[in-house]
Amino acid sequence: MPYPAGHRERVRKRIVESARRLFNRSGFESVSVDSIMADAGLTRGGFYTYFDSKSDLYAEALGCFFTDPNWKSRWKGVTVDLSAGAAGSQIVHAYLSRQHFDDVENSCPMTALPSDVARCDKRVKAAFENVFQAMVDFLGRDVKARGRRREDRALAIAALCVGGMVVARSMNDRGLGDRLREAAKNVALELGGWTVSKSRRGR
């Protein structure tokens, strides 16, 4: 009996969602194809009808709200309208938010997986670079600068967002991690020429 229309795409999406959660939680090396398929409610045998390898799946799981139109609803209470004329400051606030910090399984994979990516093949590195570049492109649309300076500032803001979250999550001292996120957010906003929080302006 044939599967209904759209079945293959729904199953593929389910595998990607499971992989993203597990990769974010445990990293690339620690997650097996068996565990991904089990989490998706499927058997290992079907994996290779959808993906050539775990690296192939990994590259697809490296999505975020810059490349996935459904990502905007992932973090409760956080919305980002990338079609807005002033999306840059929204991205910074969302990326360095408490909600993103707390929701490890639904993180942007750039914050959970950079060390894994550095050890992976060119396909995975290219996927990571594409997501990062998409972030830079969205930020660059709203940076208050021109030419090469605009692109350099967008690159720096993206690095502050990703790196700030990575380091904040690596700390035992939650208060210090919160300060780090706030500091990274305010410097990123200053670089973009956007409104900085009142606590920062008052210093």
User: What DSSP character marks residue 197?
Assistant: P
Same domain, 165 and 115: yes
pLDDT band per the 50, 70, 90 thresholds, residue 128:
confident
pLDDT at 182: 97
Residue 57 has pLDDT above 50, yes or no: yes
Q: Which two tokens stand for residue 194?
A: 């956007």
Instruction: Report the sign of the C-alpha dihedral through residues 176, 177, 179, 183, in that order.
Output: positive
47 lies in which domain range? Answer: 7-61
pLDDT at 62: 81
Same domain, 178 and 88: yes
pLDDT at 201: 43
Supply the pTM of this predicted model: 0.84
Higher pLDDT: 119 or 157? It is 157
Q: Which two tokens stand for residue 134?
A: 């998409």
**Is residue 2 assigned to a domain?**
no
pLDDT at 73: 58
Same domain, 139 and 45: no
Same domain, 81 and 131: yes
Question: What count of other Cβ atoms lies within 10 Å of the Cβ of residue 24?
Answer: 20
The number of distinct structural domains making up the chain is 2
Same domain, 193 and 150: yes
Please compute the mean of the pLDDT values over residues 113-124 and round it to a whole number: 76
Is residue 24 within 8 A of residue 107, CB to CB? The reply is yes
CATH code for position 101: 1.10.357.10
